[in-house]
Amino acid sequence: MTEPSEARSALNLRGFLAAFGFVTCLAGGWFALRSGASAVGLALLALALVAVVDFVVIGRRKRREPGRHETLFE
């Protein structure tokens, strides 16, 4: 399989989406726990933890990737 010579990595976009999901799930989980919906709150906090794990995976993959990517969509 050959890749185009100007292929772009989606890791920066994936990082942005993981950050958005982390903040959203963390805030939603906190508000759900405060309002008494413990099952929903714990589920949202678990999803926030998944986003943190995704950050670690993204960081490892970016270190293996050749070149530097400084913009969001490169």
DSSP string, the chain: ----TT---SHHHHHHHHHHHHHHHHHHHHHHHHHT-HHHHHHHHHHHHHHHHHHHHHHHHHHHSSS---STT-
- Give the max Cα distance, the chain: 53
Kindly list the domain boundaries of the chain, sorted by start residue. 11-62
Categorize the per-residue pLDDT at 63 as very low, low, confident or very high, splitting at 50, 70 and 90.
confident
- For 13-58, what is each residue's pLDDT tens digit? 899 999 999 999 999 999 999 999 999 999 999 999 999 999 999 9
- Cβ atoms of 42 and 29 within 8 Å: the answer is yes
Res 44: pLDDT: 96
pTM: 0.74
Query: Residue 7's pLDDT is what?
Result: 58
